Amino acid sequence: MKTLFIGSISAVILLLLLSACTGSLSPDPLDGTVWELKEINDLPTLQNTIVTAEFTQGKVGGSSGCNSYGGAYKVNGNKFTSESIAMTLMACVDAGVMEQESAFLEILQKAQTFEIKDGQLLIFSSDGKNLRFLQNP
C-alpha cells in the first residue's frame, strides 16, 4: 500500500513538472525575423530613412533612421516589452530624422502588445501609439 501511494505521488509530481515545462516554452514568433518600419502612428516614415528591427534570441536592434539601437525584449502571447534600449549618439541634419527616431524609440520602449498579420508587424504602446513594419525576406 505504501509503495502504491509513493508511486502515485511520484506520478503527480512528474506530471506537474512536465506541464510546467511545456507552459514556459512559449514560442517567440519574432525570433529570427527582420522588419522595416513603414508607419509611426499611421503616418508614413520619411523617404530618406530606413528604420529596421531585427529580433534574435531575446534581443532587438537595428537602425533607428540615423543611429543604431539595441536592447532586450520579451514576448508572452501577444504581450511585448522591451528593456534597456541603448543607441549611438550621432546627430543627423536631415529635416525630421531626429524627431522620427525619437518617436520610434519612445513607442518601442513603451510597447505592450504586438500583432503579426499579412506580413506586417504592428507594435502598440501603453499610450495608444503604434508602429507598423513590413517583413524583410
| Residue 30: exposure state from Cβ atoms within 10 A (0-12, 13-18, ≥19) | buried
Top-level CATH class of 27-135? mainly beta
For the chain, counts of helices (H) and of strands (E): 2, 9
Residue for grid cell 500583432:
115
Q: For residue range 110-120, what is the model confidence (pLDDT) as tens digits? A: 999 999 999 99
Cα–Cα dist 132/35, whole Å: 9
Section 75-88 average pLDDT: 94
Whether pTM exceeds 0.85: no
Q: Please tell me the distance from the alpha carbon of residue 73 to that of residue 83, in angstroms, as a whole number.
A: 6
Predicted confidence at residue 26, as pLDDT, reads 58
